[in-house]
Amino acid sequence: MAEETGQRVGDYEVVALLGTGGMGRVYKVRSVISNREEAMKILLPDFAAQPELAARFMAEIRTLAGLDHPNITQLRTAFQIQNQFVMVMEYVEGTTLDKMPARLPLDQAIDYSLQVLAALSYAHGKGVTHRDIKPANIMITTHGVVKLMDFGIAKSTEDLNLTRPGTTMGSIYYMSPEQVRGGTVDGRSDIYSFGVTLYEMLTGRKPFQAETSYSVLNAQLNETPAPPAQWNPALSRELNDIVLRALAKDPGARFQTAEEFRNALKAVRSASDAPAAVAAAAAVPLPVSAPAFASAAPTTGPVAVPAPNPTPGFVPVAASATQPQARSHRGLWIGLGALAAVLAIAAAFAFLPRFFPMHAGQKTGTQVAANAAPAPTAPAPQPAAATPSASPANPVSSAQPAAPNPGAGQPSAKPVHHSYPNAGSPESNAPQTGQPAQEVAPPVAPAPPPGPSPEEVRHARDRFMDLDARSQTVSSELDSLRRQQQAQGYDLRGDMAAAWNRMNNDLREADSAINDHDLDAARDYMDKANEELRKLEGFLGR
């Protein structure tokens, strides 16, 4: 049956030929009833001549109909026409791995691998073995979602008879040793085939390359591949060993399940993400808030604590005019430690004025009486350097005169204690009698709370990808339904159209929140998008 553009096959109109293979052809078709575009695979040229193979196809089609995973193309329906099997599959727009660059970036290769292995783990759990894992059957959508295609298409006996020199077929590079021998195949064969695919993604070359099919198949059976790190030195030892384990000749020496393979890759990615996360956190400087009195100072100049009449020998700490804005991290921590020490000293001097008068009053009477007693001779005011330091034998009050009177020559009778240094005029910042002038350091803002871990970001991204894959399917069906209804003079129900818009908006906001590492907002938007998705899926009967 030769299908041409515009020809009808059942209820489908052929739009274009997508590809050909040894088992049939794949077409892009459009349903004449729903107007939805699908992929049609016409298999087995004449199943009447091969009834056993036809029966196996029928059993596998029924199994495939039960697969529902975001990383697997869905089987829509299947039927027979002119002694041929016809499978109608989900049509996916994107690029297959074999059309992408030979060597992919490490994080991209691991991301695609995790999605492929998630699909294989699900399928193997349903009792389905793919049998033809290769880059041409792995589609990457425009949103970076992996779609594993051609599930369950059995290999004919001709596919295994490839030992003639000069005969080449694309799949021989990815066949497991048990497939080459024609033995029993299970999920571990898919693990081997994907190990070959991962080797190629990481190195840009296949593990076994030769001029003839016989040489390639012989290598699959008997030769050990060169370590992938030999071609890509950037690979870690752990990742190198993972690939080689997947390529073990003995199925019992490989990963026994796709989930085990997937967990090993996740551990490698977590180990590689940890240093990057630490470096990113260290690159963010800790914010330091400006002191309360710095608002009056120029914003571009150094910030210094005013200290009139400093005690000789005391050097106030101030930001140097030549100090660069960006400092090393070591200097930052030293500076923070110094600021903490200065804050402790400033707090101590805030309470010393109350502490010393109480003890001084126990020996000389009340401090007020001592201050009120007239002095026989009024001594001339002394500079701060000449003031004797406080001692038990010579108690000195830490009270500061409220306002000096040049004519009187003696302090006022009522002392004024400054419990909040540097909180008022420059006079209030003057050193207390008998105490050295000290700098009051600017308050340090608390360190920002730690951001989400790479594992949390990865979980959020995985959930978003699942939602996005579901939304693409729903959007495709809604778009086809809307076009069909508009052709008849109707339109989509208003509540469903609104839910569709809300779903798309919530997914966009969730994606933006994940990129900003705001996982709380991302979870909220994804919950909302999931609620709208359920409404739309119920409306479509999914």
Catalytic residue among 46, 68, 107, 132: 132
The residue type at 148 = L
Looking at the DSSP bridge assignments, the partners of residue 8 are: 13
Cα 109–chain centre separation: 15
Contacts of 345 (CB under 8 A, 6+ apart): 438
Find tokens 């208003």 and name the residue: 494
Q: Which tokens sit at 52?
A: 């056993």
Looking at the DSSP bridge assignments, the partners of residue 514 are: none
Element (H, E) at 84: strand 84-90
Burial of 48 (0-12, 13-18, 19+ CB in 10 A): exposed
Find tokens 């399940």 and name the residue: 257
Q: What are phi and psi of 138, to 5 degrees?
A: -120, 110
Contact assessment for residue 136 and residue 170, using Cβ atoms and an 8 Å cutoff? yes
The residue type at 496 = M
* Nearest-angstrom CA–CA distance, 119 and 469: 13
* Nearest-angstrom CA–CA distance, 419 and 433: 15
Contacts of 169 (CB under 8 A, 6+ apart): 22, 159, 162, 213
Q: Which tokens sit at 294?
A: 């710095």
Tell which residue, 281, 299, 209, 221, has the closest CA to residue 452: 281
Q: Which residues of 393-429 are buried (b: 16+ CB within 10 A; e: fewer)?
A: eebbbbbbeeeeeeeeeebeeebeebeebbeeeeeeb
Q: Which residues of 83-118 are buried (b: 16+ CB within 10 A; e: fewer)?
A: ebbbbbbbbbeeebbeeeeeebebeebbbbbbbbbb
Burial of 198 (0-12, 13-18, 19+ CB in 10 A): buried
Q: Which tokens sit at 187?
A: 């999920």
The residue type at 335 = G
3-state secondary structure of 400: strand
Does 150 participate in catalysis according to the annotation?
A: no
Contact assessment for residue 381 and residue 452, using Cβ atoms and an 8 Å cutoff? no
454-487 and 519-540 helices, crossing angle to 10°: 30
Per DSSP, 99 falls in state: G
* Nearest-angstrom CA–CA distance, 353 and 411: 17
* Nearest-angstrom CA–CA distance, 443 and 427: 21
Find tokens 């029924």 and name the residue: 62
3-state secondary structure of 368: helix
Residues listed for the chain: 542
Contacts of 484 (CB under 8 A, 6+ apart): 34, 35
Which residues form the catalytic set? 132
